[in-house]
Chains A and B, each alone.
Chain A
Amino acid sequence: MFVLIIGGGKVGLNTARQLLRLGHEIALVEQRKTRYDIIADLLGEDALVFGDGAEIWVLEKAGIGRADMVVAVTGDDEDNIIISQVAKLKFGVPKVVARVNNPFNQPTFDLLGVENTVCATTAMLNLIMHELPTHKFVHLLSLKREKVEVVELEVGENSPFAHTYVQDIDLPGGVLLAAIVRAGHALVARGSTEILPGDYVLCLLPPGKEKDLIKVFLPEEEPERVQFESELDTSEG
């Protein structure tokens, strides 16, 4: 596969190294001269292009016309959106992945059809929520294009589902109870598996079903208080 990476920061450089290690062909575009020189020392100059990756002619020079995938990981969200759109609209690149620097801009990526996004801040925050014992409902993963969310719920002593079998649980439509985490180990949820207090259950569900799930699973909680949404600081950096 030929992967074109725009932005040679920590994310771009490490992506490039990993892909090279796996035997893929890459090209990396970087516009800051000092950063370009650092990367050239590490990777050599063959796969490097100096320039602004939001410029169409720079992308062409980097070989976007034959790219199997474009990875837009600059530090600027507007640039990442435009690079993704140019890759799709003008060059018909089959796969595009974009970095969201400021989680506040996530709705704009979604609105403008940039579907495959990764936001380090949101991922980190979700991880922190996951580790905080006070959060009984945690968003683990969103697969936007596939329209699937992966969430984790804590089974308390008083949970309506403590000491019940998976097959007897009546979940909201579209929700799948996929796995149970017990004492740090994940078990596949079969109909005959009994859910115990202290377990965590992993569910797959379509976006927007979170509140319905919380209502049946954590009836003592108010969904607004439990549900974690990305209402983060709007400032840059």
Chain B
Amino acid sequence: MHVLIVGCGRVGSGLARDLVTQGFDVAIIDESPEAFHLLGDDFPGEFVVGRALDWEVLREAGIERAVAFVACTDGDNTNIVIAQIAQKKYGIRCVVARVYDPLRAELFAQVGIRTVCPTRDVRVSLFDAVRACQIPLPDQEG
């Protein structure tokens, strides 16, 4: 089962390793050849250097046989665009994209991309963490 990830930062590289551990066959694309180091020397998957908007690079990384596609470059718009290429050009049903902006995350979820919004998620986590301290609630009068 082939999974293609675009963006080999902290998140992308960590996800690649997690998926490999689960038995997936993983390819990961990044513009920077140096990004490879984040994967570690023992990474058994494939690392491809190139621009994600380049369909040739996507094909080289095996997009045609991928069952899932993850877009986690540092650009929201890049992630949304390449997620739609995976969806529309290559017919991948499981397309996941990181989108920092909550408004765009919500809008493009409507066209079938599974958007993950760190901004919204972290905000909820931070709020819960504050609540977990069990500090006294302000009284309703303010």
Contacts and interface: CB of A to CB of B under 8 A. Distances in A.
Interface string B34-55: 0000000000000000010111
Interface stretch (A61-69, A73-81, A222-230): A73-81
Contacts of A89: 107, 110-111
Contacts of B77: 54, 76, 78-79, 81-82
Nearest to A109: B81
B120 interface: no
Interface in B61-111: 75-78, 80-81, 84-85, 88-89, 101, 103-104, 107, 110-111
A111 B53 contact: no
A223 to B, nearest CB: 23
Contacts, number: 50
Interface stretch (A100-108, A182-190, A202-210): A100-108
A78 B53 contact: yes
Contact of A111 (B54, B80, B89): B89
B31 to A, nearest CB: 10
B66 to A, nearest CB: 17
Contacts of B51: 234
A56 B106 CA distance: 11
Interface residues of B, number: 20
Given A76-B77, A78-B53, A78-B78, A56 B85 contact: no
A71 B51 CA distance: 26
B55 A107 contact: yes
Contact of B103 (A56, A108, A111): A56
B54 A86 contact: no
A82 B80 contact: yes
A82 B103 contact: no
Nearest to A235: B51
A77 B53 CA distance: 10
A82 B83 CA distance: 12
A221 interface: no
B107 A78 contact: no
A104 B88 contact: no
Contacts of A234: 51, 54
Contacts of B104: 54, 56, 82, 86
Interface of A: 54-57, 76-79, 81-82, 86, 89-90, 104-105, 107-108, 111-112, 234
8 contacts: A54-B77, A55-B103, A105-B53, A108-B53, A108-B55, A108-B85, A111-B85, A112-B84
Given A107-B55, A108-B55, 10 more contacts: A55-B103, A76-B77, A77-B53, A78-B53, A78-B80, A81-B81, A104-B54, A112-B81, A112-B88, A234-B54
Nearest 8 CB-CB pairings of A with B:
A78-B77, A56-B103, A82-B77, A78-B78, A78-B81, A79-B77, A81-B81, A112-B84
